[in-house]
Structure formats: C-alpha cells, structure tokens
Amino acid sequence: MLRTHTCGELNMAHAGQNVILTGWVQRSRDLGGMTFVDLRDRYGITQLVFNMETHAALCDQARKLGREFVILVEGKVSERSNKNAKMATGDIEITVEKLDILNESKTPPFTIEDNTDGGDELRMKYRYLDLRRNAVKRNMELRHRLAFQTRNYMDSLNFIEVETPVLIKSTPEGARDYVVPSRVNPGEFYALPQSPQTFKQLLMVAGFDRYFQIVKCFRDEDLRADRQPEFTQIDCEMSFVTQEDIFDTFEGLVVHLFKTVKNVDVVKLPRMTWADAMKYYGSDKPDTRFGMQFVELTDIVKGKEFKVFDDAELVVGINAGGCAEYTRKQLDELTDFVKKPQVGAGGLIYLRYAADGTLKSSVDKFYSPEELKKWAEAFDAKPGDLILVLAGKANKTRKALNDLRLEMGSRLGLRNPETFSPLWVYDFPLLEWDEDSQRFYAMHHPFTSPKPEDIALLDTDPGAVRANAYDMVINGVEVGGGSIRIHNKPLQHKMLQLLGFSEEDAQAQFGFLMNAFEFGAPPHGGIAFGFDRLCSLFGGSESIRDYIAFPKNNAARDVMIDSPSRISDDQLKELSLKVSI
C-alpha cells in the first residue's frame, strides 16, 4: 500500500512514529506560521501540520492545496496541543515532512460535509462525490454488514445460496416485466425476474430443502418515491416445514441482525392475525412501537340523533393519552389532517377527559355526560386523555384512523427510529377482489396455499379463504412476506383457474412449474425480505435511495451516466427491432 496507516487509526500510542497517509483534503486553515490540513479517507480524518518556520517550501505547497485534492504525506505523529475529544484521532496530528499531490481536483459542485449545500439532483449527478459524505458512506457500510451477517446466519443453518437466472421468461401476472430482446432468437425476448419465485420452488422440487439468495429483482412500474426499477431481496425457501418453522427460522435472522449489526436485543416476535391487525390498527403493517389501539364505538353511539354516527357503518377511535390539554388550534390541525384527500375522513370528533375528571366533546349536544362516560370506559381512558373518533364506511374509516394514529404517534414522539418493534402478521386473505376488472387477484401470489380448513370455501366464498401467508412487520414497515406454497398440481391448477388464467395461458406461463410438481414436489414455503427497505429501517431513514450506491430517479433514469439512452441503428437491426413512437 502507498500508505502505512489509514486516516482513522492513529492515536497517542503512535506518537513519535513516522507514518505515510493518503487521502483527500477536507479543509485547510492557514494561520500564518502554521498551515493545518484535515486529511480524509474512508476511515476518518487526521490533522496535518505544515510549519512555515522549518519547512517553508512545503508549507507554501500546502497552502495551495484545494478541497478534494488527493495527496500522500509522510511525517511524524505528534501530540496535539489542542486536543479534539470528538475525533478518534483527535489527540494527535502529523508534522509533515513530505507532500506528494497524487491528483488534483476541480472545486466540487457541493460541499463534502454531513450537511451539504448540494440539492438532490446535483448530488445524484455527482453521486461519486455524494458517496464521499460520511452519512452516505456509512449507509453503504451498513448495507454490507447486513448482507454479510445475513449470509453468516443462513449458512450456519445449512441454507445454501444458489444463483437463479436473470434472463428468464415474461409472465403478465403481477407488475410489468422488463424485457430483453434476443438477437439469436429474433422476435423473442427474455424477461428480468420480478422475484426468483418459480426458481426457488423448483429448487425445492430439486431437493435443496434450504435455499437463500441475496438477489437483484426488477419491476417496470411507474415509480413512487420509495420504489426503484431494480431492487434487492433476501429470498428464502425451505422444504418439509410448517409455518411455525418459518417463523422460528426468520425471526432468528432478524434477532441475529439486530444483535450483530445494531447491538440491539430483540426478543421473540409477537404475532397478530391479519384480521386483528385490521381491527386494532386499520393496517396490515401496524406500527407497534406504541399502543393507541382502535376501539369500536358503533354499538354504543347509535340512535342519539347524531346523523353522522347513525349513518356510519363503523364508528371507531383512538385514545391519545395525555392530550386532553390540546388547544383549539391543535384540534383544528388534526381535523384538517384527517380531511386531507390522502386520508379522506369527513371530519373528526373528539372527547376530552380533563384532569379534573370532566368530559367535554365536540358532540355534547347529542350525548349526555353519562353516555360520554361509556365512551371513556370503552377506551379505558383516564383523566388527561383525549379520544379521537372517526365514522363512515368501515374500510375507509379504518384506513383514515390508521393515518391519524400514526400522526399522533409522531406528534407524541412515540416513533423513535432507534426503537424497533418487529412482529408477524399472519392468516392473510388468499384472494383480493378487484372492482375494476371484476376478478380475484392473488393477495400474495398464485403459489400461496389456502389454509386447509378453508379449502372448501374456495368454491363457495373464495374471498373468505385465508392463506398460509405472513408478513414480517417492523415499525409499521413490511420488511418481508411469504407463504407456505401449494405443492401439488391439482390445487395449483384450481388456483390459476380462480385467478382467471385460461388453460393455455396457465400452461404457457407456469407449465414448467406445474410439470415439476408431478415429479415429487415436497411441501415447502418461504419468505422474501426487501433488502433495501431493511437497510433503510436499520439506518433509521425513510428513503431506500439513501441505501443504494447508484440509484435511479423517479423517472427511472440514472442521471449520472445518463441512462437509458438511444442505441445505434445497427444494434436495433441486429435485434430485429424498430422503434415506433
């Protein structure tokens, strides 16, 4: 190595040693007789000192160093007179005897600091400079650590990582595929995988009983803020298992990751049925860092001439503990919040349980104090609490109250990103009815098995069938989902029929999987974790983009390399394609 040490490791134990360091000029200060330069590399920052009295020429050279110049210095480790306890290397500095400029730098378009002056677009265009910033660099290190520890854990349990192909076959079910024209098979296309689902099931048929893979997947969607055209999954599958085995194995994984990467102790994961999650949180991914569970009031509030409640399918609320002193203005803000189109409630009813024990609501003219007392009892409220109630169509109201609950959690500081509350949500419905197309869709995917006790309902009431499907949810984020799969051909066949596949389509798209099921498919199931999402959760951020080295923007463009781009006519011709805009 050109260097003897990194910029992050020197301390008083090295005092007096001659060392060679390499790195980037973070900043320099010219104090007349002395010039100080902060030298940065991946590991830290070390202060360099150039002395005008003893090394005038060298000091002159140092004064001309610009930000982000790449230099090599040789010198002696000395104790600082002015120590900096905040820096790992803050006790020492290097008295420089020799300076080589390895490369110059133009002035970077934004500052390479934790709080940079660069906007999003500029930082994406110069992502290689953005990655020099501490915060972004640490995200990449966290991502590496999580992948590495995932592999350690999986290997220790005899899982083997198998690479499944990237050039596969287009299947219209689910999101849109990215396709790849084949030159040697004109008019034909590969597709990039949305997940290795069918391949991992084939690996179970092949007898590999414990498979995993950290793998890139692709989805040609109209992008939202937190979606990327290419994303990474921790993809896992096991044979000869029950749902219980999946829970054990993969809560073991997150316990291992929290311990080894964050030094956080997580205990056994609680479990919640999908029905309970919807009933008590209005969401299939409840944020359980705080309580504030839903309480339904429908039965006790009807028939008091309050039309809003009388007309409502559901009246449901939460108890915002300790918020009885909320001002008019704060309550108006909450009302505005629930009325936003994204939330969609008609209005907000509140009930204050004052510290002196009196009850005061926004519907006092319809409900007597005795009646309001019943509300308070339903919520198990105590003096000082504030009850917030929504009413309307059941599903829509639950969704709105979920938004309000999360908003209250945020306002009350109950959603600390360094607190982690993982759980399993299970017993999802098998099918989801789509009003637009008047057909059922698989809630998870077409390979998910129904619960054995619900199979009879497939013919009579398909929407009521529960699946052997589960999600792992942490802090209100779905980090992983999976199911016990169907492993015999007749049931798989029936499922595809229910989903509206014609015989031909089913054979064309999944024929190889159904054929495989005829040659001794074992019972199997698995799970896939969204790795980008998991990284952002561990990093305490909302944005997965911060955890991807070279992300694309919301128009699916890489602005750094300017891609996608046109290709040559020769390339198009070789591929037997014409662009037709």
Which residues in the 283-342 window bind a copy of itself by CB under 8 A?
none
Give the Cα separation of 60 and 72 in Å (integer): 16
Binding mask 412-451 toward a copy of itself (x if CB under 8 A, else -) reads: ----------------------------------------
Number of residues interacting with a copy of itself: please give it, by CB under 8 A: 121
Out of 157, 167, 355, 464, the residue judged to bind a copy of itself by CB under 8 A: 167
User: Contact between 104 and a copy of itself (CB under 8 A)?
Assistant: yes
Give the Cα separation of 390 and 315 in Å (integer): 6
Give the Cα separation of 132 and 113 in Å (integer): 9
Give the Cα separation of 186 and 157 in Å (integer): 45
User: Contact between 35 and a copy of itself (CB under 8 A)?
Assistant: no
CB of 11 to a copy of itself, least distance (A): 18
CB of 145 to a copy of itself, least distance (A): 8
Out of 36, 208, 366, 441, the residue judged to bind a copy of itself by CB under 8 A: 208
439 forms beta bridges with: 434
User: Contact between 452 and a copy of itself (CB under 8 A)?
Assistant: no
Contact at 8 Å (CB) between 191 and 231?
A: no
Residue 390: enclosing H or E segment and its boundaries?
strand 386-392
The alpha carbon of residue 405 and the mean position of all alpha carbons in its chain are separated, in whole angstroms, by 20
Binding mask 130-149 toward a copy of itself (x if CB under 8 A, else -) reads: -xx----x--xx-xx--xx-
| Contacting a copy of itself within 187-206 (CB under 8 A) | 187-192, 198-199, 202-203, 205-206
- Return the residue matching tokens 């009302």: 335
CB of 501 to a copy of itself, least distance (A): 14
Nearer to a copy of itself, 119 or 341 (CB): 119
| Contacting a copy of itself within 490-519 (CB under 8 A) | 512, 516-519
CB of 168 to a copy of itself, least distance (A): 6
CB of 146 to a copy of itself, least distance (A): 11
CB of 281 to a copy of itself, least distance (A): 32
CB of 228 to a copy of itself, least distance (A): 9
User: Contact between 557 and a copy of itself (CB under 8 A)?
Assistant: yes
| Contacting a copy of itself within 48-87 (CB under 8 A) | 68-70, 72
Dihedral (CA of 421, 426, 430, 436) sign: negative
* DSSP string for residues in 16-76: T-EEEEEEEEEEEEE-SSEEEEEEEETTEEEEEEEETTT-HHHHHHHHTPPTT-EEEEEEE
Give the Cα separation of 472 and 524 in Å (integer): 18
Residue 278: enclosing H or E segment and its boundaries?
helix 274-281
User: Contact between 175 and a copy of itself (CB under 8 A)?
Assistant: no
CA distances from 267 to 150, 533, 556 (A): 18, 21, 39
Nearer to a copy of itself, 56 or 160 (CB): 160
Dihedral (CA of 267, 525, 193, 500) sign: negative
Stretch that binds a copy of itself, among 88-96, 275-283, 296-304, 562-570 (CB under 8 A): 562-570
Residue 280: enclosing H or E segment and its boundaries?
helix 274-281
First to last CA, the chain: 54
| Contacting a copy of itself within 114-133 (CB under 8 A) | 126-129, 131-132
Residue 564: cis peptide before it, omega within 30 degrees of 0: yes
User: Contact between 262 and a copy of itself (CB under 8 A)?
Assistant: no
Out of 63, 302, 561, 569, the residue judged to bind a copy of itself by CB under 8 A: 561
User: Contact between 166 and a copy of itself (CB under 8 A)?
Assistant: yes
